[in-house]
Amino acid sequence: MMSALEAKGLSLSYGGDYIFENLDLTVPVGKITVFIGSNGCGKSTLLRSMARLLKPQRGAVVLDGADIAGMSTKDVARKLAILPQGPTAPEGLTVLQLVKQGRYPYQSWLRQWSPEDEKAVMAALESTGLTGLADRTVDSLSGGQRQRAWIAMTLAQETPLILLDEPTTYLDLTHQIEVLDLLYELNVQEQRTIVMVLHDINLACRYADHIVAIRDGSIKAMGRPEDIICSELMQTVFQLPCEIIPDPLYGTPMCVPHGKGFRRTQTASSSPEETERLRELTTA
């Protein structure tokens, strides 16, 4: 069953000035939504608020038509899972033990560990390719494996909504693609609604159905990457002069920043017109 998540008139602060004020946002159901923006713009704050980790000053986060603030912790955890940035596990905890934590919302005095719990954990391990590593300690894994273990824990919750705060941070490019491919497959095959914060604009454009571009606590644009990503938006959101061209593999928008690498772009085969164009771009 899919769940709907939205912000209505949301105002957020950390005790001083408002980070967001009177914000409205609807997360497309069954899609991948990515928040983009410069450091400190409020992306993670907004994500945390929508997971009920930060209480709004005004307005509400609405989950399946109900104010999330009035729901029990276990009710929320059965519909929404969040993976914060840089999670850490206790030393010596195995992958299997970590993934089992995802079944906490279903445990009670009357309902202890069940065959359904075991099935969910095994399915999460299989989906993330970690079955063979179940007995390894989390701290012995590579960065990509460790991130997959945390994602497996969120999968074991069996929630229709998954929120992730910078899931590719500190990962090399190979492991970034590994994690994003996994999330893509979960979205396509299991219709999970996924919301995440990403720093890499090109990967955001490649994997997102819906992008929310944030600057200084306000949404500057939102929609399909091909509809909103342009050099003007990159200048507004990141103060980054750039060119937007089609990704040569997927056709999605690809950001090519202006910079000072002009000497590296010159080749013996460059025409005078190409050389002059490069000079104009790198000195703009």
What CATH code is carried by the domain that includes residue 182?
3.40.50.300
Tell the residue number behind the tokens 């994602």, with chain if given.
151
| pLDDT confidence of residue 170 | 76
| pLDDT confidence of residue 106 | 80
Could you tell me if 61 and 69 are in contact, meaning their C-beta atoms sit under 8 angstroms apart? yes
Residue 242 resides in a domain: yes
Choose the final residue of a domain: 105, 139, 156: 156
DSSP summary character for residue 45: H
Q: Provide the residue range defining the domain that includes 142.
A: 95-156
259 and 194 share a domain? Answer: yes
109 and 145 share a domain? Answer: yes
195 and 108 share a domain? Answer: no
269 and 180 share a domain? Answer: yes
* Structure token digits, residue 19: 């980070």
163 and 265 share a domain? Answer: yes
183 and 264 share a domain? Answer: yes
| pLDDT confidence of residue 233 | 96
The phi, psi pair for 268, rounded to 5°, reads: -65, -25
Looking at the DSSP bridge assignments, the partners of residue 193 are 161
24 and 74 share a domain? Answer: yes
- Cα–Cα distance between 226 and 240 in angstroms, integer? 18
| pLDDT confidence of residue 84 | 86
| pLDDT confidence of residue 128 | 86
164 and 178 share a domain? Answer: yes
pTM for the predicted model, two decimal places? 0.84
Choose the final residue of a domain: 156, 178, 202: 156
| pLDDT confidence of residue 280 | 65
Residues of the chain with pLDDT under 50: none
115 and 193 share a domain? Answer: no
Pairing label, strands 242-246, 253-257:
antiparallel
- Cα–Cα distance between 108 and 123 in angstroms, integer? 22
12 and 136 share a domain? Answer: no
